[in-house]
Amino acid sequence: MSEINENVEPPLDGVRVVELGVWIAGPAAAGVLADWGAEVIKVESPGGDPQRHILATVGREAARLPPFEVDNRGKRSIVLDLKTDVGLRDMHRLLAEADVFVTNLRVEALRRLGLDPDELRERYPALVYGLVTGYGTEGPDADRAAYDVAGFWARSGVANAFTAKGGEPPLCPPSFGDHITATGLVGGVCAALVARARTGRGRLVETSLLRSGIWAGSADLSLQVQNGTAGRTLARHEAPNPMLNGYRCADDRWLWLILLESDRHWPALSEALGDTALAADERFGSAGGRAKNRRELIARFGEIFATKNRDEWGEILDAHGVWWAPQADLADVVADPQVTAARAIVELPASDLVEAAATVASPVDFDRQPITIRRASPVAGEHTAEIVAEFGLES
């Protein structure tokens, strides 16, 4: 395997991005572009990106907000009041020098500011315009308010896919749909930059929380689209393949068997579990039999796995060539040496306001080179004077 090359320039070195984003999906997309070497100027209102104040919604405050840092490290921040003529003129000066514009403001708000796609693409034909919406730019709900809880989680069918019959839907994990949507936009922006290198013209790159949620759940939805029916979400005790399921161990930790090819893996699993009666039971001798009698087999597996701690089972399963994975809690993830080896945790550099700290990497590397974060996430307007001088702005 080739060695990490620390002398390679990041792939988006020299690309300038102007971000007019709030909350997560738009800033997260621009944040990945920054991780990949782009220069990102984050334009904020005088009140700052509202994500900066998220803890206030639950009555808390903190000097450091790790989720905000994940999406905004590596950027420079300028505060512009776009409700004023001066602020808008300065915004256009920035856009005139930009390769990419990323925004997730609602299109109606962009239209009021004269920053909507039609206006900017006519004015700056080489600009790549990256737009995240809740539900798309056409249709009856095109300008309806949406966080990922609405567009990605609820309306796309994703929440329903996590809800067994008669059960209650779980809450959407913070930024879950936003980050999936953001990575889609990043891919589209990079494709548009490739096309621009060939044609000299920019592209409008659109994605939505709704489309991204539908794509994430496309395996089930494709059946619904083509056949008019799809399987319902099942509780774990109803899993058609008991060998592709989670089981609680004696220490109250869970492991997952990942034996998709049931007949192939059944002999090794039977031997690993050490239950001769189970191995000899004709009901479970084939994939069809195991599916037909899944409730009984899942219950028996549960009894067996409850006899030993997860680490003990891990050694036994590995020794028998049985594929499995631990169900990790967040502390497990941070301590996992494979997470470190996969370069999923990186160093956030210190600034005048915060010390260096570990943070979560975005999911793609190049040439096996770890992501290098150039600066900590900025304070709102931290680089206003610097950017004003650099671009000759009026603010």
CATH number where 245 lies: 3.30.1540.10
What is the C-alpha separation between 325 and 256, in angstroms, rounded? 5
What is the C-alpha separation between 137 and 214, in angstroms, rounded? 16
**Domain-located, residue 11:** no
What is the C-alpha separation between 40 and 298, in angstroms, rounded? 51
Parent domain of 282: 236-333
Residue type present at position 132 = V
Q: Do 135 and 196 share a domain, yes or no?
A: yes
**Count of CB atoms situated within 10 Å of the CB of 329:** 10
What is the C-alpha separation between 345 and 189, in angstroms, rounded? 25
**Domain-located, residue 366:** yes
Tell me, what's the pLDDT at 1? Answer: 47
Domain boundary among 313, 333, 353: 333
Q: Do 210 and 347 share a domain, yes or no?
A: yes
**Domain-located, residue 257:** yes
Q: Do 328 and 365 share a domain, yes or no?
A: no
106-122 burial: b if 16+ Cβ within 10 Å, else e = bbeebeeeebbbeebbe
Number of domains in the chain: 2
| C-alpha separations of 15 from 90, 280, 287 in Å | 20, 64, 53
In the chain, DSSP finds a helix count (H) and a strand count (E) of 17, 11
**Domain-located, residue 375:** yes
Q: Which of 214, 217, 215, 196 is nearest to 205 (CA)?
A: 196
Q: Do 152 and 257 share a domain, yes or no?
A: no
Residues 6+ apart with CB under 8 A from 222: none
157: left (phi over 0), alpha (psi -120 to 50) or beta: left
Q: Do 309 and 347 share a domain, yes or no?
A: no
Tell me, what's the pLDDT at 321? Answer: 97
Q: Do 280 and 201 share a domain, yes or no?
A: no
**Domain-located, residue 160:** yes
Q: Do 326 and 347 share a domain, yes or no?
A: no
**Domain-located, residue 77:** yes
Look at residue 250 and give its three-state secondary structure.
coil
SS3 content of the chain, % helix, strand, coil (to 5): 45, 15, 40
Q: Which residues are registered as beta bridge partners of 132?
A: 207
Tell me, what's the pLDDT at 354? Answer: 76
Tokens of 22: 């709030």
Q: Which of 63, 69, 205 is nearest to 130 (CA)?
A: 205
Residues 6+ apart with CB under 8 A from 33: 12, 15, 17, 40, 100, 102, 186, 189
Domain boundary among 284, 300, 333: 333
CB 57 within 8 A of CB 29: no
How many Å is the maximal CA-CA distance in the chain? Answer: 82
Tell me, what's the pLDDT at 355? Answer: 84
Look at residue 258 and give its three-state secondary structure.
strand
**Domain-located, residue 369:** yes
Q: Do 284 and 144 share a domain, yes or no?
A: no
**Domain-located, residue 224:** no
Could you give the angle at which helices 209-216 and 218-227 cross, rounded to 10 degrees? 90
Q: Do 90 and 50 share a domain, yes or no?
A: yes
What is the C-alpha separation between 293 and 283, in angstroms, rounded? 7
Residue type present at position 331 = A
Domain boundary among 333, 355, 373: 333
Q: Do 293 and 378 share a domain, yes or no?
A: no
Q: Do 155 and 214 share a domain, yes or no?
A: yes
Which residues in the chain show pLDDT less than 70?
1-7, 56-64, 231
Query: Which strand ranges, in their side-by-side order, compose the sheet holding 204-208?
Result: 76-79, 39-44, 16-20, 100-103, 128-133, 204-208
What is the C-alpha separation between 256 and 59, in angstroms, rounded? 38
The CATH number given to whatever domain includes residue 192 is: 3.40.50.10540
Reported pTM: 0.92
Q: Do 307 and 355 share a domain, yes or no?
A: no
